[in-house]
Amino acid sequence: MKNNDFEKICKEIVRDYTNEHLDKSDNISITEDEVFIVWSCKTLQNNKILASTTLSDGMYYELTYNGDKKEIYLDAYKKFENRAIKVGE
């Protein structure tokens, strides 16, 4: 799958997943424009993307395309903490 095609599909998947999991009583939803790609890689017939949204919910998403099976796998993660750890001198 071409990178541009995979990126577009991933943005749609993240948008749909996010909108499905938002609190319905908040009456909000996101568009593809509010999904951004953090990192992308293509190796042989496989692709991988790390994505997030403009929401301040701490979520990020890993999407992997298995070119042999023509399947995309979605992993959704919640960021719990971000620490700076000093190492060395």
> Among 21, 25, 11, 5, which Cα is nearest to 61's?
11
84 part of a folded domain: no
For the four alpha carbons of 29, 33, 34 and 39, in that order, the dihedral sign comes to positive
pLDDT of residue 79: 85
**Any domain includes 22:** yes
pLDDT for 49: 97
Note the pLDDT of residue 89: 74
- Does 12 fall in a domain? yes
Whether 73 is in a domain gets the answer yes
Predicted local distance difference test score (pLDDT) of residue 76: 97
- Of 33, 34, 39, the closest CA to residue 57 belongs to 34
Number of domains in the chain: 1
Which residues, given as ranges, of the chain have pLDDT below 50? none
Q: Which residues constitute the domain of residue 49?
A: 3-78
